[in-house]
Amino acid sequence: MVELTIDRIKTRVPEGTTVLEAAGEMGIVIPTLCHYSGLSPYGACRVCIVEVIKGDRSSLEASCTLPVAEGQVILTASEKVKRARKVIIELLISSCPNSKTLQDMAANMGINEVRFKIKDRNCILCGLCVRYCKEQMQSGGIGFIGRGTSRRVSVAFGVTPEECRNCGGCEWICPVCERACTADNLVNGLCGGCQNLTPVETCPFCTYCSESVGATGHKVY
């Protein structure tokens, strides 16, 4: 067993456990995109970064590929982590602004603007579909081709191989295939449909009536 500290709480987990798994066992939710239970860890999206304290210094590392170590000190939601995650989500949204998953994450993190140029590539190269096809379906019909900005997911030579079973698993597991509900009306790359950007007050006798009280009176949201 390995003893470590996550968010100032000591815990013991079996050797070989990742920090993401250890935090999950404690009920600590770390956002992820390229991680999926049953598939090999990949560490591509970096959304699951945590702060690893090393004396008077610290580093940001992907928790899905980071193994626990004796005496390790981890912060999962420090200001440093939150700032870095916001930048990562902004970068991912600039590549896939129509993704409901990404837009939901942006709303949850309080992101109100995307500071990068929007170039819809329709893929964040998380590798989920490639790993699912190879590891779960035992097919390997799709994979990565190209390098750098030309890197993408495709089939070899543009021809669907015989190994492909048309299972639809690659589309099912993809975090960007589901379109945001306001995908056609994005403002500077953001949906904002699930985020209330104005302060909300409730009346003294709140009965959870789904109304907010502001300067102009009641407003149903």
- Of 85, 100, 119, which residue is a domain's last? 119
Identify whether residues 20 and 86 lie together within a single domain.
yes
Indicate whether 41 pLDDT > 50: yes
Identify whether residues 157 and 97 lie together within a single domain.
no
Percent residues over pLDDT 90 in the chain: 54
- Of 100, 119, 138, which residue is a domain's last? 119
Q: What is the pLDDT of residue 195?
A: 59
Identify whether residues 134 and 111 lie together within a single domain.
no
With tokens 């404690």, the residue in question is 26
| Cα dihedral across residues 120, 121, 124, 130: positive or negative | positive
Tokens describing residue 201? 């007050």
Q: What is the pLDDT of residue 221?
A: 37
Percent residues over pLDDT 70 in the chain: 86
The pLDDT tens digits for 184-198 are: 788 888 886 665 444
Q: What is the pLDDT of residue 182?
A: 77
> Has residue 29 been placed in a domain?
yes
Pick from 140, 165, 168, 167: which is nearest to 155 by CA? 140
Domain of 108, CATH number, reads: 3.10.20.740
Indicate whether 148 pLDDT > 90: no
Question: Mean pLDDT for the chain?
Answer: 85
Identify whether residues 92 and 132 lie together within a single domain.
no
DSSP bridge pairs for 201: 213
Q: What is the CA radius of gyration of the chain?
A: 21
Element (H, E) at 10: strand 9-13
As a whole number of angstroms, the distance between CA 8 and CA 202 comes to 34
Identify whether residues 115 and 132 lie together within a single domain.
no
pTM confidence score: 0.81
> Has residue 184 been placed in a domain?
no
Pick from 133, 19, 127: which is nearest to 73 by CA? 19
Identify whether residues 8 and 114 lie together within a single domain.
yes
Q: Which residue has the higher pLDDT, 158 or 22?
A: 22
Identify whether residues 43 and 79 lie together within a single domain.
yes
Identify whether residues 56 and 76 lie together within a single domain.
yes
As a whole number of angstroms, the distance between CA 201 and CA 8 comes to 33
The pLDDT tens digits for 50-84 are: 999 998 899 999 999 999 999 999 999 999 999 99
Can you give the residue range of the structural domain that contains 19?
2-119
As a whole number of angstroms, the distance between CA 167 and CA 172 comes to 9
What mean pLDDT comes out for the span 91-111? Answer: 91
